Structure 1
Amino acid sequence: MEVVTLEVPALGNRTHLVHDGSRALVVDPPRDVSDVERVAEQAQVEIAAVADTHVHNDYVSGALALARRHGADYLLAADEPVEFERLGVRGGDVVPVGRLDVSVLATPGHTRHHQAFLVRSHDELDRPGALFSGGSLLRGTVGRTDLVDERLTAELAGRQWASARLLGALDPATTLHPTHGFGSFCAGATTAATGAGGTIGDERVANPALTTDRDRFVAELVAGYGPYPRYYPHMAPLNRAGSAGPAPGRPGPSPPPR
């Protein structure tokens, strides 16, 4: 299993492509998927599945269009109200992608129906694997909880704490691959952790969600929120409608050699 991370500095986010040498899963792609397709082509892998950890509030997702371009499954929480066909998944589901198993973990908090994806090879299910945590557990912090509905901010912050604890209970050697960070307004706080690497074990030591009791964590997280860009409220409706149009990019890469 190999993970390729693509940084999107303009959004303060990262997109991830994980593959088994033949078939790949793409997690949280931006609307412009050119770099994603370039990386897939270089690795000579087929994009077999695309996933959004949540309906994004900070950018237009390229996931639906990318999945359609490649005839791939589009994974999104089954409970999310959207206006298009997708492969609705729930916590506890396991989706095969080539020789990879994609385990779905329900991690509400950043949004109501947020999910994380734990990916392991079929023949290494006893190994730690790679966790794609979206806007749930970030490096040194968590995703903010006031973007869905300000009235739900504190409630979602409590659920974010519980979700972080769920992820923090994974094998400490599990590698952590969040979407938000390094400048994203979706991050609940600014941290010194800016690199793409890291493990669950690292977060157990440094992440307040894993070192602070629930009530104190919720109070401090909510008190630390600052303003966010004016365009944010328009993003989730666009993503729910699937109305972004065709994803920019070249024609999809040729299938890998068999």
Structure 2
Amino acid sequence: MDVIVIDTPQLGDRSYLVHDGRVGLVIDAQRDIDRVEAAARDAGVEVTHVAETHLHNDYLTGGLAYARKHGAAYLVNAADEVAFERTPIADGETVMVGELTVRAVATPGHTHHHLSYVVEHDGEQAVFSGGSVLYGSVGRTDLVAPGHTVGLTHDQYASARRLAKEAAADAALYPTHGFGSFCSSGPAT
């Protein structure tokens, strides 16, 4: 498994291209998809799936545009009410992307329908945690609406613990937020 980081320091966010050497998955694509296209081209892989961990409050996603342009499946939480075509995915569902096994894990807190993705390949595991579990922090829970903050905070606590329990101890962590993004609940390390 190879993970290519597509960093957007102006927003404090990262997108990812994870692939098996032949087929790839893009996670939380930034709006300027030319950088994702270049990463896939340079790696010599075909992107067959694009996934969103959550509907983003801090940037416009390029996921839908990329999926449409390249005929990729667009994985968005089945519980999110959206007005565009997508491939709905829910907690516990698994998708094969080439030789990669991609499992959706419900991790609400940063948003109500947040998903993380646990990707496995040849005994190696990576966790793409979006805005849920960050480096030394977690995602903010006060961005949806003031009346939801307490409930989302409880959800975020449970989600962080669940993700730590379900992921292998040596799994690599790849959050979308936490590099200066206002979506981090505190300074990320």
Give TM-score, length-normalised by structure 1: 0.72
Q: Write the mapping of 1:91-170 to structure 2, written as runs, cut at 5 A.
A: 91-121=91-121, 124=122, 127-169=123-165, 170=167
Q: What is the Cα deviation at residue 137 of structure 1? A: 0.3
Name the one with the larger strand percent. 2
Counterpart pick for 1:174 among 143, 163, 171: 171
Partner of 1:256: none
Partner of 1:185: 182
> Could you tell me which amino acid in structure 1 is paired with residue 49 of structure 2?
A
Name the one with the larger helix percent. 1
Q: What is the Cα deviation at residue 82 of structure 1? A: 0.3
Secondary structure at the aligned position of 2:133 is classed as coil
- 1: distance between equivalents of 2:31 and 2:124? 31
Partner of 1:22: 22
Q: What is the Cα deviation at residue 142 of structure 1? A: 0.3
Partner of 2:78: 78
Partner of 2:89: 89
- 2: distance between equivalents of 1:185 and 1:128? 31
Q: What is the Cα deviation at residue 10 of structure 1? A: 1.2
- 2: distance between equivalents of 1:60 and 1:104? 22
- 1: distance between equivalents of 2:60 and 2:68? 16
- 1: distance between equivalents of 2:96 and 2:144? 31
Partner of 1:41: 41
- 2: distance between equivalents of 1:174 and 1:167? 11
> Could you tell me which amino acid in structure 2 is paired with residue 112 of structure 1?
H
Q: What is the Cα deviation at residue 62 of structure 1? A: 0.4
CA deviation digits over 1:64-88, x for unaligned, max 9? 0100111000001001000011010
Secondary structure at the aligned position of 1:61 is classed as coil
Q: Write the mapping of 1:200-211 to structure 2, written as runs, cut at 5 A.
A: none
Higher relative contact order (CA 8 A, sep 6+): 1
Q: What is the Cα deviation at residue 57 of structure 1? A: 0.6
Asked if 2 retains the 8 angstrom alpha-carbon contact of 1:128 and 1:171, the reply is: no
Q: RMSD in angstroms over aligned alpha carbons?
A: 0.8
> Could you tell me which amino acid in structure 2 is paired with residue 153 of structure 1?
T
- 2: distance between equivalents of 1:116 and 1:175? 13
Secondary structure at the aligned position of 1:154 is classed as helix
Asked if 2 retains the 8 angstrom alpha-carbon contact of 1:91 and 1:105, the reply is: yes
Larger radius of gyration: 1
> Could you tell me which amino acid in structure 2 is paired with residue 154 of structure 1?
V
Q: What is the Cα deviation at residue 128 of structure 1? A: 4.6
Q: What is the Cα deviation at residue 181 of structure 1? A: 1.1
Secondary structure at the aligned position of 2:173 is classed as strand
- 1: distance between equivalents of 2:179 and 2:107? 21
Partner of 2:52: 52
> Could you tell me which amino acid in structure 1 is paired with residue 133 of structure 2?
L
- 2: distance between equivalents of 1:171 and 1:117? 13
